Chain A
């Protein structure tokens, strides 16, 4: 029972490089989310997708893009990585018609930008 799977688990990038973080869920959930977690800041929403084919900005979207490839997959792209984007990134999904069920999280991608 995989739940929410994120790849890669760790990555080191140089400033200016690009990268795509992958997320897939096998719970047939409509809604998917990308968060970043920084010390003392808690989890902050970057982007979310309420349903297949829709995406919306969250609290901290600058410097990121997302793609809801299909119902299972939701990717996060950094086009030109900056040291301020060093963080742990979590993907989550939730069921219900409007994401009104509790969110289930993956185990994160630890990203370091040099």
Chain B
């Protein structure tokens, strides 16, 4: 079993919709959680970085962590075609430990 699991998609939604991207993880020792966005033929870029459970909002993006169920979510409000990319979730045990990545979910926003 992979430590971080994501549905690979593709997920296709119309412009303006609310998008929900989800991950599960297996190790309860994870304390830090990240979402990266990766455009085609580019490197991943950090979207959200959170510690422990709870919500974090940044513009149209909200990251949610539920440690009791080992579930990580990213919500995108008012989705735009420019949000079309692969989204990688990740976790780490401590602030300095290795990052464990999920395999990514491909998202397509239809104009």
Contacts and interface: CB of A to CB of B under 8 A. Distances in A.
Please determine whether chains A and B interact with each other in the same assembly: yes
Interface of A: 4, 40-45, 48, 50, 58-59, 90, 92, 96, 98-100, 102-108
Which size class do B's interface residues fall under? 20 to 34
Contact of A105 (B2, B43, B95, B103): B43
A20 to B, nearest CB: 19
Interface in B43-64: 43-46, 49
Contacts of B101: 42-44
A100 B49 CA distance: 11
B22 to A, nearest CB: 15
**Most A C-beta atoms less than 10 A away, residue of B41, B44, B102:** B44
Contact of B34 (A41, A98, A102): A102
A91 B6 CA distance: 23
Contact of A98 (B42, B96, B104): B96
Contacts of A96: 95-96
A58 B49 CA distance: 22
B45 to A, nearest CB: 7
A63 B30 CA distance: 29
A60 B101 CA distance: 14
B88 A58 contact: no
Nearest to A91: B43
Contacts of A108: 41-43
Given A40-B103, A41-B103, A90 B43 contact: yes
A40 B41 CA distance: 16
Given A43-B101, A107-B41, 4 more contacts: A43-B44, A45-B99, A105-B36, A107-B43
B88 A42 contact: yes
B43 A42 contact: no
A40 B43 contact: no
B42 A104 contact: no
B104 A42 contact: yes
A4 B49 contact: no
A44 B99 CA distance: 9
